[in-house]
Structures are given as C-alpha cells and as structure tokens.
Structure 1
C-alpha cells in the first residue's frame, strides 16, 4: 500500500510557515517532534489558527496525523482540528473531519520529549469537492500555555 501526503511542509523543516496560512503562529526551534522546527500557536486569550488548502479528488479518503504538545506547566487550551471539503467556488460541501482536544489534555513539552500524536480518518471526499482546507486552532482561554504542532500529514490511502 502506498501513501501520498497532501500536506506541504507539515514538519516545518523549511524554517518557515510557507505554504501554511496562519494567525498568531510562529516557527520555533525550541520544540520539535521530528527535525529541528515546529509551529507554535499562542495560548492565553489569543486565538491562533494554522490552515492549509490541499487538492482532493472525489472518492478519496485520508488518514490525518498531528503531533502536539503544550510548552509549559499551565493548562493547555482547547484545540479544534477540522478538515472541510470545498467545491470549485470554495464553498463548503462537507466536513471531512472534526475533532477536539479538550482543555488541559496536552502533555508538557518543556523538555522537548513529551508529545501526543493524533490519528484520525476522514470521511470520503464528496463528488463536488475539489479542495480541502485543514484548520488547526486553539480556543482562547486565560492562563493557558502556547501549543506546538509538528509532523502533520494528510495521507491518501490508495
């Protein structure tokens, strides 16, 4: 069985966020699941978002992987992970994946050794979809840590 990863720069080893879209996200070399870099989403009362648009074909399905942790001893914010299938005019046609990591459920990665990896299966791409948008965001909450994400993959199974 072969796998095709639709995510580009999911390990952030370019040292940049390109081609990710983001708000309140930066590259860090203080925490990494693999390689030297990861993306750090601001915690606290700040809403942070990491997003990438990927091409899809009707009938495909995917396995989604993400390694994630918090950066210190405060609680982690709630993190929502969503994949939305879009049609040719970029309108949503279906939700491919929706999962939530609840408040204070991430390991402390102060020593860069504690990560959890999320494994999820998407729904099948509907007939009218041509793209999928992958969204990773935190829910603002006072006195919560930044989070780091790395090793992001959206693998098409053939």
Structure 2
C-alpha cells in the first residue's frame, strides 16, 4: 500500500501536501492527468508530506521527475526523515541530490524514475517526513513531479518489498513498447531496451544490442524514458 496521499496529484490539487511555489500541471504528466510543478529560477520551491510509519521497518521510495522547458535542470534535494510521536526528528531515512542535466526534458515525453530504500526506522519512529526541494539556481527550469510512492517492505514482491509502483510503471512501458534505460547498482550508466515481461520481483528486458536480461526489481535504482 502506498503511504503517500495524493501521490500522482490526480485530485487536480496539492491536497495532502504542504507546498511552497508549487502548482499543478496538466500538460506534462508521466501517468494520469496531473503532475506537480516546482517553480524554476532563483525561486525556492518544495513539496512535503508527513505520513504515519511503523518502527523497526524499512521502506521503498519511488518518484518520477522531469524538467519543464529548455533551460538547464536545477539542483534537487530529496530526503526522508523519521519522526517520533511529537514529530521531532529521530533519524535520517535517506537523502538524495540531483545535479544539473540529470533530469530529462518533459517536452520529449521523457521522465526519470528514482528508486531508493530507506534505513530501518528507529524504535520510537511514528511518522516520516518526505521533502522534495528545488534549489534556487539562475536560469534553471521548473521541475515536474509525478507518481510518488512510499511502500513498506511487508509484502508484494521478492524479499518482502512492495514493488507495486515499479511493476505498474514497467507494465505501462511494456504495453507502449517504449524504449527505456534501466540503471542498477551494478550498471550505473544503464542499459537501453524494451520491457519483454514483468514478474512479481523481476523484469525481463530486451536490450537494443539484441540480448535479453533478467533484472531483479530490488536492484533497479533509476528508470529513464528515451
């Protein structure tokens, strides 16, 4: 089950999110009809949400990003904090940063999907704060956000992890016969090809050079459309 409320902004609003200089975009989306847009340039922009979590548990985080327009992509900071019952920070779940040029241009229909696992939540954890921040940078583009997920590792895939969001995304690429690049921890530069089949915990991938790969979903770190 996705712990994030309004994860794809399909309410047509930023309901459930706290935001600053963020709006809804209905022109560029990865799935559905809406995405969120963080204002570009020297403007500070973010969305954040606090969700209940269990103690002594780990989670899988998924988010899709693209830049809106021809200007360079700005720096992004994405992190998750575990909080206690009084919503005081008790530990860091993960922290990510994206430098310029790491986001594809939504005008081409391309998106980057990031997959990240959290640390194990402390014994006194009751909530998690997810913060997605567009850092001010001159002559930088707005950033589009879609299909955010946070899943407990209590079922749904190999090794007990819930891979619902990744399976749904890969299945959409399979149906559309899209060319994508899948990156794993062992292949950070990625491999380009098309999805041949999607299983419970693996994806069968036909590469552009004619080989077939079987990739465990737990090894995927990024997915980009080409």
Pairwise same-fold verdict (TM > 0.5): yes
Q: How does 1:128-139 map to 2 (within 5 A)?
A: 128-139=124-135
Partner of 1:140: 136
**Of the two structures, which has the highest relative contact order with CA contacts closer than 8 Å and spacing of 6 or more?**
1
Shift of 1:62: 0.7
Structure 1: unaligned runs, 5 residues or longer: none
Partner of 1:65: 62
Structure 2: unaligned runs, 5 residues or longer: 155-226
Partner of 2:121: 125
The DSSP-based 3-state class of the residue aligned with 2:55 is coil
Q: Which has the larger radius of gyration?
A: 2
CA-based RMSD: 0.8
1:70-109 deviations in Å (ceiling 9; x for gaps): 0111101111110001112211000001011112211111
1:33-86 deviations in Å (ceiling 9; x for gaps): 100000000010001010000001101111100010001111011111100011
Higher helix residue share: 2
Does residue 77 (structure 1) correspond to residue 96 (structure 2)? The answer is no
How many correspondences in the alignment? 154
Task: Give runs of ≥4 in structure 1 deviating > 3 Å.
Answer: none
Counterparts of 2:54 and 2:153 in 1: how far apart (Å)? Answer: 12
